[in-house]
Amino acid sequence: MSVFVVIPVHNRLELTRACLASLREQSFRDFTVVVVDDGSTDGTSNALANEFPAVTILSGDGSLWWAGAMNVGVGWALARAEWDDVVLSLNDDTIPPPDYLERLLRAHAASPHALVGSLQLSAADRATVIDGGVTVNWATAKYRTAGCGVTADGDACPGPNLRRVDVLGGRGTLIPVEALRRTGPYWEQGLRHYAADYELSRRAQRAGFDLVVDWGSPLYVREAETGTHAGVAGGGVTGLLRSFWDIRSANDFRVRWRFAAAACPRWALPSYVVCDYARVVVGSVRRYQARYDTRLL
Decide: 265 and 141 in contact? Cβ < 8 Å. no
Decide: 28 and 102 in contact? Cβ < 8 Å. yes
One domain, residues 129 and 7: yes
Asked if residue 271 belongs to a domain, the reply is yes
Whole-number Å distance between alpha carbons of 196 and 199: 5
Asked if residue 230 belongs to a domain, the reply is no
Whole-number Å distance between alpha carbons of 70 and 123: 24
What φ, ψ does residue 15 adopt, rounded to 5°? -65, -45
One domain, residues 214 and 119: yes
Range of the domain at 292: 236-296
One domain, residues 255 and 219: no
Whole-number Å distance between alpha carbons of 130 and 122: 6
Q: What is the pLDDT of residue 232?
A: 47
One domain, residues 75 and 104: yes
Asked if residue 62 belongs to a domain, the reply is yes
Asked if residue 215 belongs to a domain, the reply is yes
What's the distance, CA 202 to chain centroid?
A: 14
Q: What is the pLDDT of residue 22?
A: 97
One domain, residues 187 and 58: yes
One domain, residues 60 and 181: yes
One domain, residues 119 and 169: yes
Asked if residue 150 belongs to a domain, the reply is yes
Q: What is the pLDDT of residue 242?
A: 81
One domain, residues 91 and 178: yes
One domain, residues 93 and 210: yes
One domain, residues 38 and 68: yes
Question: Exposed/middle/buried for 1, CB within 10 Å: 0-12, 13-18, 19+?
Answer: middle
Asked if residue 231 belongs to a domain, the reply is no
Q: What is the pLDDT of residue 233?
A: 47
* Domains in the chain, number: 2
Whole-number Å distance between alpha carbons of 3 and 59: 21
Where residue 15 falls (left for φ over 0; alpha for ψ -120 to 50; beta otherwise) is alpha
Taking the whole predicted model, whether its pTM rises above 0.75 is answered as yes
Beta bridge partners, 119, equal: 218
Q: Which CATH number do you get for residue 121? A: 3.90.550.60
Question: Exposed/middle/buried for 59, CB within 10 Å: 0-12, 13-18, 19+?
Answer: middle
pLDDT in tens, the chain (297 residues): 899 999 999 999 999 999 999 999 999 999 999 999 999 999 999 999 999 999 999 999 999 999 999 999 999 999 999 999 999 999 999 999 999 999 999 999 999 999 999 999 999 999 999 999 999 999 999 999 999 999 987 565 667 899 999 999 999 999 999 999 999 999 999 999 899 999 999 999 999 999 999 999 999 999 887 755 444 445 677 777 788 888 778 889 999 999 999 999 999 999 999 999 999 999 888 877 766 665 544
- The domain boundary residue, chosen from 189, 205, 225: 225
One domain, residues 213 and 74: yes
One domain, residues 249 and 110: no
Q: What is the pLDDT of residue 293?
A: 60
Q: What is the pLDDT of residue 167?
A: 98
Asked if residue 157 belongs to a domain, the reply is yes
What's the distance, CA 3 to chain centroid?
A: 17
- In the chain, DSSP assigns E strands to 3-9, 31-38, 56-60, 86-89, 94-95, 114-122, 129-131, 134-137, 142-145, 162-164, 173-176, 210-221
